[in-house]
């Protein structure tokens, strides 16, 4: 009965204090493309990715009923840093869908004009950015006016606040009404005073060192069984794993022990009893403390975390080939920063082409056979085996008209050569261990695609090589030779392809730089670097987020400067968010289903290399 009354009261008081309008809500997913166009079109940094905002407690004053209900304690902290632009996952502030959508548009425009180098107070910084937007784009003034009036109407009236809080609220309203008119926020007089309520139209400073995607091997293996934590992105802090005491150490007096007759069997719950519904418990937590240990509780929970970045490694013990890496923060190329090792494929016994792949291989051979060099008649040549009658007729007509005609008069039967070298670079990171069906994983699709593609390339006569890569921090970039330019694709090469296994992480920039070196040594006129990937560049150290994206982009630019044509084929559903920044709008192909890689790879290669 008590539980029923409690649940009924909770539902009643929550509905009573609700101040949003779910039926008029606009979500970030449905307007994400529009926001991207507005942000980058108005001058936003194309290297910044769009992410959901972090849910934080604001500690601002709330209405009386909200304090009773314990609601509206948190807000979506919208902000911008050098890696991410964070916006609310859902906006339902206003009783108008168009106003909620306009708020997204305004935040995108504000983010495009906000400078990452400004260190003024948050109220001054937002006023400056608002002034730049309104001065540069006067057409947004009506939108701003509508949003300003609607936002002010939702705020607590300053008349009901203490004097110092009211002064801050008046300053915030003045800054919204006339951006640039408030030089500083009045100080609070008491430690019990509350800070101003968050302003939905403004951006706040965020310290975002996201470590998204970090998984141990056993976590990745059990990812399909995890439960998603609702409630937006969670703030976190890194903590050390507590030392465990194995066994029970007690100091006691022997006579204090209960006798057998006095002992009562009572099932008392204790704090360290495992929680069978950990995801539900995590939903109600404001922030999460995370640590690295051997337990697998994290494999049952999937949360969007805002994880602090560990300190960067200052020195490493490494061996292999040194490679540079681009640091976008200092805009410098760090010399000899990564180390690449050639790692042989283990247990690579020679094999024939598997029986289940032979029908696909025949189809791909026929498809790519049209690219093979053949003998063709070439017109208007200065010499040849036969006269070009069309050229003779045009030459005689020009002579009669008093005109001189330049060009040959013969047909020549010549071989049309394809002077091309292609290097296929396959991502063999741990994420390729994910399943695509009941019977196959991503790594299986990559194996089959490489084998079938190589069978088709033999028909074209093009020179090609195949390599795979993975990484574990900057000291261990593993590079696996499947087929070099100098070796044929034979049973031994098929055995190496069949023996590839998922590795660790994806330091793509280093792999692209070394592949560029290999291609640069080849004498062919046309050179293609074909990259097969299933996700963003990522590693355990700082190589993630924008750092990894910018280093990969720089390596692609370096390849193009050497006359190499990079092209990426990916199965990452989020690839459209970052691949245009890396490869350009025409430099990648996004496959909706991984199993399509086997059939689409040959067609993409034909379009890429057909002159």
Most confident of 278-282, 361-365, 371-375: 361-365
Same-domain check for residues 292 and 379:
no
Give per-residue pLDDT as tens, 498-513.
999 999 999 999 999 9
Same-domain check for residues 493 and 384:
no
Average model confidence (pLDDT) for the chain?
79
The b/e string for 460-470 (b: 16+ C-beta within 10 A; e otherwise) is bebbbbbbbbb
The values of phi and psi at residue 340, to 5°, are -105, 130
Same-domain check for residues 109 and 147:
yes
Question: In the predicted model, is pLDDT for residue 153 greater than 60?
Answer: yes
Please indicate, yes or no, if residue 88 is contained in any of the structural domains: yes
Please indicate, yes or no, if residue 571 is contained in any of the structural domains: yes
The values of phi and psi at residue 307, to 5°, are -100, 135
Structure-token pair, residue 222: 């059990």
Please indicate, yes or no, if residue 185 is contained in any of the structural domains: no
Same-domain check for residues 491 and 468:
yes
In this predicted structure, what is the pLDDT of residue 318?
62
Same-domain check for residues 593 and 503:
yes
How much is the average pLDDT of 532-551? 89
- Classified as helix, coil or strand, 213 is coil
Same-domain check for residues 512 and 397:
no
**Lowest-confidence segment of 156-170, 216-230, 306-320 by average pLDDT:** 216-230
Closest by Cα among 416, 460, 494, 428 to 605: 460
Contact by Cβ (8 Å): 320, 269: no
Please indicate, yes or no, if residue 196 is contained in any of the structural domains: no
In this predicted structure, what is the pLDDT of residue 270?
44
Same-domain check for residues 299 and 360:
no
How much is the average pLDDT of 428-456? 89
Helices (H), 212-258: 217-221
Residues 282 and 79: their CA atoms lie apart, in Å, by 24
Same-domain check for residues 160 and 226:
no
Same-domain check for residues 171 and 126:
yes
Please indicate, yes or no, if residue 204 is contained in any of the structural domains: no
Range of the domain at 302: 209-239+283-310
In this predicted structure, what is the pLDDT of residue 68?
75
Give per-residue pLDDT as tens, 210-247.
333 333 333 333 334 444 455 555 555 555 545 444 44
Same-domain check for residues 461 and 598:
yes
Domain count of the fold of the chain: 4
Please indicate, yes or no, if residue 263 is contained in any of the structural domains: no
Q: What percent of the chain has pLDDT over 70?
A: 76
Burial of 408 (0-12, 13-18, 19+ CB in 10 A): middle
Residues 231 and 239: their CA atoms lie apart, in Å, by 22
In this predicted structure, what is the pLDDT of residue 484?
94
Name the residue with higher pLDDT: 235 or 577.
577
Same-domain check for residues 305 and 403:
no
Domain of residue 500, CATH code: 3.40.50.410
Same-domain check for residues 451 and 383:
no
Please indicate, yes or no, if residue 328 is contained in any of the structural domains: no
Contact by Cβ (8 Å): 307, 211: yes
Please indicate, yes or no, if residue 186 is contained in any of the structural domains: no
In this predicted structure, what is the pLDDT of residue 310?
46
């Amino acid at each position: 009965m008590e539980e029923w009354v409690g649940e009924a009261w909770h539902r009643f008081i929550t509905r009573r204090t609700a101040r949003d309008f779910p039926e008029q809500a606009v979500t970030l997913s449905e307007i994400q493309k529009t926001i991207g166009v507005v942000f980058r079109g108005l001058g936003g940094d194309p290297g910044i990715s769009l992410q959901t905002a972090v849910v934080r407690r604001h500690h601002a004053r709330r209405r009386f009923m909200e304090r009773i209900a314990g609601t509206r304690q948190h807000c979506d902290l919208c902000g911008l840093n050098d890696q991410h632009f964070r916006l609310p996952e859902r906006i339902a502030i206003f009783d108008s869908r168009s106003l909620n959508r306009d708020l997204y548009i305004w935040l995108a425009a504000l983010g495009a004009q906000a400078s990452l180098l400004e260190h003024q107070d948050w109220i001054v910084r937002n006023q400056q950015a608002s002034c730049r937007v309104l001065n540069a784009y006067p057409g947004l003034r009506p939108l701003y006016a509508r949003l300003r009036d609607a936002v002010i109407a939702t705020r607590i009236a300053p008349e009901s606040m203490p004097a110092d809080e009211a002064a801050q609220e008046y300053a915030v309203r003045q800054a919204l009404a006339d951006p640039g008119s408030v030089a500083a926020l009045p100080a609070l007089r008491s430690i019990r005073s509350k800070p101003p309520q968050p302003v939905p139209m403004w951006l706040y400073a965020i310290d975002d060192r996201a470590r998204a995607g970090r998984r141990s091997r056993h976590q990745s293996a059990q990812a399909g069984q995890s439960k998603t934590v609702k409630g937006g992105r969670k703030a976190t802090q890194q903590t050390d794993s507590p030392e465990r005491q194995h066994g029970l150490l007690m100091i006691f007096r022997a006579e204090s022990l209960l006798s057998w007759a006095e002992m009562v069997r009572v099932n008392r719950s204790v704090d360290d009893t495992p929680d069978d519904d950990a995801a539900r418990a995590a939903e109600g937590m404001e922030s999460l403390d995370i640590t690295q240990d051997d337990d697998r509780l994290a494999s049952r929970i999937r949360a969007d975390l805002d994880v602090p970045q560990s300190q960067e490694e200052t020195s490493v013990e490494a061996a292999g080939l040194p490679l540079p890496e681009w640091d976008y923060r200092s805009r410098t190329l760090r010399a000899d920063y990564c180390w690449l090792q050639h790692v042989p494929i283990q247990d690579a016994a020679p094999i024939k082409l598997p029986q289940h792949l032979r029908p696909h291989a025949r189809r791909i051979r026929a498809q790519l056979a049209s690219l093979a060099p053949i003998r063709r008649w070439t017109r208007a040549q200065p010499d040849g085996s036969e006269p070009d009658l069309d050229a003779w007729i045009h030459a005689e007509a020009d002579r009669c008209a008093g005109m001189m005609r330049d060009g040959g008069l013969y047909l020549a039967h010549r071989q049309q050569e394809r002077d091309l070298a292609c290097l296929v670079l396959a991502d063999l990171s741990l994420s390729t261990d994910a399943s695509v069906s009941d019977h196959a994983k991503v790594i299986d699709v990559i194996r089959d695609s490489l084998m079938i593609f190589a069978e088709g390339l033999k028909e074209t006569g093009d020179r090609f090589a195949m390599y795979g890569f993975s990484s574990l921090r900057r000291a261990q970039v593993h590079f696996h030779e499947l087929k070099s330019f100098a070796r044929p694709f034979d049973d031994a090469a098929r055995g190496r392809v069949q023996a590839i296994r998922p590795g660790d992480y994806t330091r793509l920039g280093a792999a692209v730089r070394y592949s560029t070196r290999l291609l640069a040594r080849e004498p062919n006129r046309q050179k293609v670097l074909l990259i097969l990937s299933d996700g963003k560049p990522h590693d355990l150290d700082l190589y993630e987020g924008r750092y990894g994206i910018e280093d990969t982009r720089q390596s692609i630019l370096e390849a193009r400067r050497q006359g190499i044509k990079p092209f990426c084929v990916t199965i990452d559903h989020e690839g459209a968010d970052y691949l245009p920044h890396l490869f350009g709008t025409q430099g990648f192909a996004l496959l909706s289903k991984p199993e399509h890689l086997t059939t689409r790879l040959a067609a993409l290669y034909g379009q890429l290399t057909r002159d």
